[in-house]
Structure 1
């Protein structure tokens, strides 16, 4: 379901093998994949899909960490990052979490999306902290401690929430088909909304960079890792098709929204990377121009020249 950060369904679960309730039913499957993901993978195509999906998840997990460090290093978060980007990113992760919960996803997915929300809290806290700090002429030590306390409280709350959901996993009555279908549809709607939010997050940042004519204060690794995550996610879905046991058309339709969202974010991140290259070249060309400007001012003024004669 919707736990991949940019934008939708977790890539690890893109393969067609349904979760197997008993280990005896997965004799030929890979043991560690079955233990970790409750997925019976018994052919090379599905195994490759899972491995590439794990790489995609790893890229998503690391994607925001470089930006957290860049914000701490420069302290120019409010100048470099768009609040709209952070807001839509946070909304995407919240709806992704809701979809993950409503469709009863595996604990690894719950922990992953909780980590995404945690990094969102850090980024948003940095944004407002440095905005108030840079706009104030005097030091505010209380503000620093408030931010530390807020981040610590949010971390504890998110960890407790993840543990509560894992320990009290709600399993709906299979006889109540209408209720379970309604919950499932709501969960997938949340996944679609997450895709829309993730797509919407890029436009404010693109406009912010264009307005400033600079990408200073933002980490290019954030968008590089996001592109790698989306690219490997799409590849993990495509690799399933040769070994698919069911209808390929139904499988593609089922994943079309997330594939479209993933491709859309991939393209938008490509434009962000182009901005990094363009504005870096612009800055370097301005610097070189200043260095090569010939000296036009005389070394001595006219009066000094006459006095020396």
Structure 2
């Protein structure tokens, strides 16, 4: 029985586009504002660790497609760029991260907004399961390498999903989501939804018998990582709704 991967390929392309388009504007914004003083080193470390694990899993997983390996490397390059910005701009003085919740709106609001937006960039990008590989049925099987790749994928999934909770807690403490770009979180949500769809509509997932089960087991960490972070994205949008009265005077600064 013939099977077409057309829908899976379209969904994968849309997922990739969402992630690629989400990050570069934030890096430019950091450069334009010359500030990353609101960036948490903990968030950055989790993000970088997740992307490095993702890249490493691509290297060891025999099913990885070449473009997915390059995509994972691209995300690590973005991490390095933001890490450099964090180091370069990190010693510049500015108001604390909680100033937004304690001081009136004034000329410092835009600066504080840019710092919080950097944190948003880290957390949103930390859900980038689109960097992970889809299985390639034509690839040779190397059970040892595949075991390493799948193990790294599970580690990557745990790191990605864990990185979201601290940001939601941070928002709750401030009673504000000012500076967290809805564009970034929308891109994260769409990227993960499309990535999940690309897996579930792949021909191998629709095959009967043990082949389907083997594919499912290999892709399970990717499915959980992508679909699971959607829940945390929804939590951000819920917080944005309940804190809207606090943030409505600067809402356009976040776009």
Q: TM-score, normalised by structure 2?
A: 0.69
Are 1:113 and 2:75 an aligned pair? no
Distance of 2:36 and 2:208 partners within structure 1? 48
- The 5-angstrom pairing of residues 212-291 of structure 1 reads 212-240=174-202, 244-247=206-209, 248-284=212-248
- The 5-angstrom pairing of residues 121-132 of structure 1 reads 121-132=80-91
Distance 1:125 1:213, change over 3 A: farther
CA contact (8 A) 1:66 1:219 kept: no
Distance of 1:52 and 1:223 partners within structure 2? 18
Distance of 1:120 and 1:109 partners within structure 2? 17
CA contact (8 A) 2:37 2:89 kept: yes
Distance 1:122 1:278, change over 3 A: farther
Q: Deviations over 1:147-168 (max 9, x none)?
A: xxxxxxxxxxxxxxxxxxxxxx
Instruction: Provide the residue aligned with 1:99 in structure 2.
Output: 57
CA contact (8 A) 1:199 1:265 kept: yes
Instruction: Provide the residue aligned with 1:78 in structure 2.
Output: 37
Distance 1:240 1:113, change over 3 A: closer
Instruction: Provide the residue aligned with 2:10 in structure 1.
Output: 51
CA contact (8 A) 2:204 2:215 kept: no
Cα displacement (A) at 1:50: 1.1
Distance 1:278 1:266, change over 3 A: same
**Unmatched 5+ stretches in structure 2:** 95-139, 251-255
Distance of 1:52 and 1:264 partners within structure 2? 18
Tell me how large the CA RMSD over aligned residues is.
2.8
Cα displacement (A) at 1:218: 3.2
Instruction: Provide the residue aligned with 1:149 in structure 2.
Output: none
Are 1:88 and 2:50 an aligned pair? no
Greater Rg by CA: 1
CA contact (8 A) 2:57 2:150 kept: yes
How many pairs align? 202
- The 5-angstrom pairing of residues 48-197 of structure 1 reads 48-75=7-34, 77-79=36-38, 81-104=39-62, 105-134=64-93, 180-197=142-159
Instruction: Provide the residue aligned with 1:141 in structure 2.
Output: none
Instruction: Provide the residue aligned with 2:128 in structure 1.
Output: none
Instruction: Provide the residue aligned with 1:204 in structure 2.
Output: 166
Which SS does the other structure have where 1:222 is aligned? Answer: helix
Cα displacement (A) at 1:241: 6.2
Cα displacement (A) at 1:249: 4.0
Q: TM-score, normalised by structure 1?
A: 0.58
Q: Deviations over 1:65-118 (max 9, x none)?
A: 233234334455332x43322211110110111111112433312211111011
Distance of 1:76 and 1:281 partners within structure 2? 27
Cα displacement (A) at 1:280: 3.5
